[in-house]
Amino acid sequence: MTSWRAVGLKIPSCSTSGQTLSPIGTTFLANTGWEPIPTNTFLYVLDYLKQEEAQGLWVAPFGEVAAYLRAQKILEKAQPETTNGETRFTWDMPAPFPHGVVLKVRLDGSSRSRLYQSGHELHASKHGVYEVSFDSRELVVRGKS
């Protein structure tokens, strides 16, 4: 059976001015806790994020990231229903929930499988990543796995 998985994000640890910054989710925290960090460390993190953004790192407001993560968890819990060679994932949108959340997914398995939403085929990026509209409340996988 073909499965899908949400595309994750990894940020490496880095060290500046004798302090080590470690990723927690997608947030950097100084080893000492929630205290302010030195200006040069903060500027280093901003420069690092800008550099990585140019390489594809997603930088977004907290609410947008939180909505994405919430939608990702809901989609991961969606139970597939298979009928006539078609696997359908459906989910409910919680209320309130922002519109326009687009999840990125990748197919594990056959390259002969195709993804559809609202009757339209989705096309993968050159990296094999599909953009799935959470608003559509369904994802259909057709083809051999």
The overall pTM is greater than 0.85: no
Residues 46 and 71 in one domain: no
Taking a C-beta distance cutoff of 8 angstroms, is the pair 107, 130 a contact?
Answer: yes
Last residue of a domain, one of 38, 54, 70: 54
Other C-beta atoms closer than 10 Å to the C-beta of 89 total 20
Instruction: Provide the domain limits for residue 30.
Output: 9-54
Counting the structural domains of the chain, the total is 2
- Cβ neighbours for 110, distance < 8 A, ≥ 6 positions apart: 2, 143, 144, 145
pLDDT of residue 69: 94
Residue 1 falls within a domain, yes or no? no
Residues 23 and 65 in one domain: no
CA 64 to chain centroid, in Å, comes to: 11
Residue 85 falls within a domain, yes or no? yes
d(CA 72, CA 64): 12
For each successive 10 residues of the chain (145 residues), what is the average pLDDT? 42 45 47 74 91 89 93 93 91 93 84 88 91 95 77
Residues 44 and 103 in one domain: no
Residues 76 and 136 in one domain: yes
Query: What is the enclosing helix (H) or strand (E) of 145?
Result: none
pLDDT of residue 32: 53
Residue 4 falls within a domain, yes or no? no
- CA distances (Å), origin 67, targets 61, 70, 129: 10, 5, 19
